[in-house]
């Protein structure tokens, strides 16, 4: 007897279209794999500039993911559970970086934090220089990656509802205790997948970084920028580095999905 998989109700023709969708994503990757110069692969990706770019990408993406969590959790909570005028408007603005071309985002950041920018002038007086620094890279990545975390977490918060929080309050827990011991532990899976998405987006960020932070090896030239530069002269290096970027992204996403499956509840015993 077959395992009790149950009726899933997916018509057969849907599989065909799904396969096409899958192919659209997978085939270009395969084409790229085919063009890799395998003989030169290791020297290409372990060159000084490649290693510097990879290290910088990982460091800045990690930093911007942390920043996304620190800023995104309160934002998501307020959007999901709060009630205040202008809430809808705030949500639209938070989602703006999703539709804005990253280059436009970079320009906007420049107008804010650049030397002539809104805040930049005051910052420069205080001795803080953001332009051309690694900080600028982290800012650019956070700007584009924040919506991913907020959207993911807000969805999880909405579907979780606030019944447990109400119960916790009646048991005598202060709002901060409720947040710490009830709300956050319950949406940890949503938070984790949001963080993974933010990390992946930060890793691939290009347009805003280029416009806002500049491109200097070891300081601001992240892996995507290195690939952009290498393709001018060394297509082999560009493809090899692209493969590295894809591999890192796949690893990170794969890790997060593996973790999620382990949080399904165990069987109920009578």
Q: Are 208 and 143 in contact (CB under 8 A)?
A: yes
The answer to the question of residue 115 lying near other proteins (CB under 8 A) is yes
Q: Which is nearer to other proteins, 78 or 173 (CB)?
A: 173
Site for other proteins in 23-82 (CB under 8 A): none
Q: Convert residues 90-109 into a mask of x (bound to other proteins by CB under 8 A) and - (unbound).
A: --------------------
Q: Which stretch binds other proteins (CB under 8 A): 32-40, 70-78, 93-101, 232-240?
A: 232-240
Minimal distance, residue 162 CB to other proteins, in Å: 10
Q: Which stretch binds other proteins (CB under 8 A): 9-17, 146-154, 191-199, 261-269?
A: 261-269
The answer to the question of residue 259 lying near other proteins (CB under 8 A) is no
- Given 61, 134, 230, 242, the residue binding other proteins (CB under 8 A): 230
Q: Which is nearer to other proteins, 22 or 82 (CB)?
A: 82
Site for other proteins in 200-229 (CB under 8 A): 210-211, 213-217, 220-221, 225, 228-229
Binding-site ranges for other proteins (CB under 8 A): 110, 114-116, 131-132, 163-164, 166-175, 177-178, 181-182, 185-186, 210-211, 213-217, 220-221, 225, 228-235, 265-270
């Amino acid at each position: 007897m077959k395992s009790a998989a149950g009726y899933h109700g997916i018509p057969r023709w849907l599989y065909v279209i799904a396969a096409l969708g899958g192919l659209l994503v997978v085939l270009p990757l395969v084409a790229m794999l085919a063009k890799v110069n395998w003989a030169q692969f290791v020297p290409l990706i372990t060159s000084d500039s490649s290693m510097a770019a990879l290290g910088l990408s990982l460091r800045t993406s990690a930093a911007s993911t942390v920043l996304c969590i620190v800023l995104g959790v309160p934002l998501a909570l307020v959007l999901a559970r709060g009630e205040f005028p202008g809430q809808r408007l705030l949500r639209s603005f938070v989602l703006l970086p999703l539709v804005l071309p990253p280059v436009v985002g970079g320009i906007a950041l420049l107008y804010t934090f650049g030397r002539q920018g809104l805040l930049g002038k005051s910052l420069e007086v205080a001795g803080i220089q953001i332009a051309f620094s690694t900080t600028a890279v982290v800012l650019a990545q956070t700007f584009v990656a924040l919506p991913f975390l907020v959207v993911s977490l807000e969805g999880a918060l909405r579907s979780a509802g606030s019944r447990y929080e109400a119960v916790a309050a009646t048991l005598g827990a202060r709002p901060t205790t409720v947040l710490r011991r009830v709300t956050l532990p319950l949406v940890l899976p949503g938070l984790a997948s949001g963080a993974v998405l933010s990390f992946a987006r930060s890793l691939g960020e290009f347009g805003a970084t280029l416009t806002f932070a500049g491109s200097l090896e070891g300081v601001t030239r992240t892996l995507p920028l290195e690939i952009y530069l290498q393709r001018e002269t060394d297509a082999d290096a560009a493809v090899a580095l692209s493969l590295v970027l894809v591999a890192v992204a796949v690893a990170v996403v794969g890790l997060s999905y593996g973790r999620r499956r382990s949080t399904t509840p165990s069987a109920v015993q009578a």
